[in-house]
Structure 1
Amino acid sequence: MAGTGEKGPGRGPGAGQHFLLSAAARRLSLAMVARLSDDDAQAIFRNIRWCDTRGEPVCPRCGCAAVYEHRSRRIFSCKACEKQFSVTSGTIFHARKLALRDILLAIAIFANSAKGHSALHLSRDLNVQYKTAFVLAHKIREALGTEMDGLTASGEVHVDGAYFGGYVKPANWKENRRDRRLLKNQNGKRRVVIVMREVDGRTLPFVVRHEAHAVPILEQRIKPGSTVHADEARSWDPLHYGGLDVRRINHQEAYSDGDACTNQAESFFSRIRRAEIGMHHHIAGPYLHAYAHEMAWREDARRIDNGTQVLIMGLSALTHPPSWTWKGYWQRARRKPSPSEGHHP
């Protein structure tokens, strides 16, 4: 069935059809969003952010519900603290310049792209600068990924790692080429994405420099008594002494032996590799974790219709505080951070 497996309904012309090809996966189209007026977009954002009060605004500063709406502008004023605010104040879209309809359209475009959506493509879709689309896409990624940080895995957990970035182009002449496997011939940008994926559960990735560095984190974030499936890499040997039931599979012999496999983790890496090859082309660097979180969310939401995905993305963004990383990103990149701001990777 659509919510539980690969196939669609068992009756009618859609029998045996993949969920993503079925009508159940399509609940929202870009044409529907593009036809919305600014008032319609405002109403949708109000209903998403203040769903507990059925769209009635609540002051983000003091939590007071005694609020009146300005007629000349789409802002509100709190009667208690006299603070003016909009539907995006205090959220990851704080201090926005784009119209709400454009932001809603960006979320819908983001949700409809099964393998991710590049910033260049988004800039053309919205007719905005590349910088604007780049920051907007990363704000959505941060809103989706923040809730994954610190979550623990339990039950049957598939663990694996995959390296990204750090490609060193070989020299033209054979006599000038070096062994790129040696540390001295690498550029230091190579990172590994580690994933903990529960069977029929959540996908939780994080990024470290080397696969062996992930063991202490895995021991903290996987609940004791869980069954961990890992491959034959020696990096996972210490997991046997951490109170976990560890099962190993040797991929040189088979991918599954009936007792252990890492197929759930491999499925996640297949998605992120496809995004790297076909969409983003370069996802390494300081924001590799953001792309990993995005692909983990897409993997978990692959059986949810696109209309619901838009609502989930909107709710995540409108309940997320302003982003230190992406608020004023391009302006901050041209100056040194003040001592109070500290350093952010």
Structure 2
Amino acid sequence: MSQHFLLSKKVRDFSLIKLLNWSDDDYFNFLKHIKFKGEESTVCPECGAIKPPRFLKTRKQWRCRDCDRSFSLFSGTVLANSKLTLRKIVLAMYLYSSETKGISMSQLSRDIDVSYKTAFTLLHKFKEAITQTEDLTPLKGHVQIDGGHFGGKPRSGQFRRIGRPEDIVAKIKLGKSQGAKRSRISRANLERKKRNRRIIINLRQLGPKGTGAVRTICRVAMAEDEKHVMSLIRRFVEPGTYIETDESSAYLQCSLGYKHETVQHSTEYSTIDGVNNNQAESFFSRIRRWEYGVSHRMEAKYMQDYANEFAWRENTRRYTQLEKLRCLADKVLSSGLSRWWCGYWQGIKRDDEMLWKA
């Protein structure tokens, strides 16, 4: 049996110890190489002048010879006007990219010695950069699609429900997650559940046999119905693609323009011919581990940000640690100005959630 990628020596090509031993110039040169793709010449982000600008060594900035504007590594990106040192920013990128199930804001604030508010906006700016630079070219070849319910978890009642013997026996026979009836929830909890619950629909393109999924696109919708599903498929899946789904009625029209096969999850996990939806379902396991063990809740307003983050984590799961760090740094340095997290704690917040409109 082959060794898991995360246990191999290849993935350990860069460590936190090496990063901590870097000098300030090393952090600067690392980001500079990614920002300008290894080229010596830089283009002014203000006027677009190609003439080599003057480098201000003490300030780690450049000054354009044409418009006389100064610019830095983060000018025009989500981290523009950041007061953090390059050391803390690169350390935050490393910790964010190295965690397979995400990192909490409070943990990051302790790790790099910043306030919780700073860690909160920094991590969300990483998510925004991932969203801004998302690859939205249509999926092709072999695609699996599934939807998962997130948010709106009802709170338990005041009194513990005493299980009946017959319910316990049924639960033992059918598995611990099936068979026994669930306790009732109050009307207020039920309304909160309806108000805050959303559906994350993920579309995953599979690679060669044994490699799993190679690309993931996620969108948040109010329902997993035919209208939302088909609009997503027409936008993000090439015609003629082979699609695998479960038996939900939302996927009935997938046969129009696509080769479509289903697996009956009510009776089987995979058909005799090998038709399954395992890769689409496995995406939800990672994000649920983050929800239960790291975040402990998922707000509907920012659910698309979380979905995009974990789609990126799935897409880069076979990257080495240095490749992940470079990938995240490239997204941050090539993104536009932050629209959602600049001035967040001063009251400048996103008005609406990012919902897929069918």
TM-score bracket, shorter-length normalisation: 0.7 to 0.9
Cα distance change on mapping 1:243 and 1:319 into 2, 3 Å: same
Match of 1:126 among 112, 131, 138: 112
1:104 maps to which residue? 90
Deviation digits for residues 148-177 of structure 1, max 9, x if unmatched?
Answer: 364321111100000100112143258995
Equivalence for 2:155: 169
Distance (Å, rounded) in 1 between the aligned partners of 2:340 and 2:82: 15
Equivalence for 1:47: 33
1:249 to 233, 244, 263: 263
Count of aligned residue pairs for this structure pair: 322
Higher relative contact order, chain-length normalized (CA < 8 Å, sep 6+): 2
Note if contact 1:164-1:192 (Cα within 8 Å) is conserved in structure 2: yes
- In structure 2, the gaps of 5 or more residues are 162-182, 208-213, 354-358
- Pairwise CA RMSD: 2.4
Q: Which residue of 2 aligns with 1:194?
A: 201
Aligned: 1:208 with 2:228: no
Q: Cα distance 1:174–1:256, how it changes in 2: closer, same or farther (>3 A)?
A: same
Which of the numbers 24, 35, 43 marks the counterpart of 1:58? Answer: 43
Q: Which secondary structure state, in structure 1, belongs to the residue aligned with residue 279 of structure 2?
A: helix
Secondary structure (helix, strand or coil) at the match of 1:287 reads: helix
**Aligned mates of 1:155, 1:136 — CA distance in 2:** 37
Name the CA distance, whole Å, in 1 between partners of 2:312 and 2:26: 28
In the other structure, the counterpart of 2:252 is 237
8 Å CA contact retained: 1:178, 1:185: no
| Aligned twin of 1:13 | none
Alpha-carbon shift at residue 18 of structure 1 (Å): 1.4
Alpha-carbon separation, structure 2, partners of 1:289 and 1:186: 18
- Given residue 132 of structure 2, which amino acid in structure 1 is its aligned partner? T
Aligned equivalents of 1:170, 1:278: Cα separation in 2: 19
Shift of 1:99: 0.3
State the Cα distance separating 1:330 from its structure 2 match.
Answer: 1.4
User: What CA deviation, in whole Å up to 9, does each residue of 1:94-141 have, x standing for no partner?
Assistant: 111100111001111111111111111111101111111111111112
Amino acid paired to 2:278? N
Deviation at 1:183, TM superposition (A): 6.8
Match of 1:140 among 111, 126, 138: 126
Larger mean Cα displacement after TM superposition, 276-285 or 190-199: 276-285
% same residue? 35
Match of residue 331, structure 1, among 346, 355, 358:
346
Instruction: Name the aligned partner's letter for residue 261 of structure 2.
Output: R
Superposition pairs of residues 1-345 of structure 1, within 5 angstroms: 16-54=2-40, 56-65=41-50, 66-148=52-134, 150-173=136-159, 177-178=184-185, 184=191, 186-200=193-207, 201-212=214-225, 213-240=228-255, 242-257=256-271, 258-333=273-348, 343-345=351-353
Check 1:150–1:183 CA distance in 2 against 1; reply closer, same or farther (3 A cut): farther
CA distance in 2, matches of 1:268, 1:282: 18
Per-residue deviation, residues 185-232 of structure 1 (Å, max 9, x unmatched)? 734010010000011131111111111133322222211111111101
253-262 vs 155-164, which moves further: 253-262
The aligned amino acid for 1:100 is: L
For each residue in 1:234-253, what CA deviation from the matched residue of structure 2 results, as whole angstroms up to 9, or x when unmatched? 2222333x322211110112
Instruction: Point out 4+ residue stretches in structure 1 off by more than 4 angstroms.
Output: 173-185
TM-score (norm 2): 0.83
The CA deviation at 1:92 is 1.5
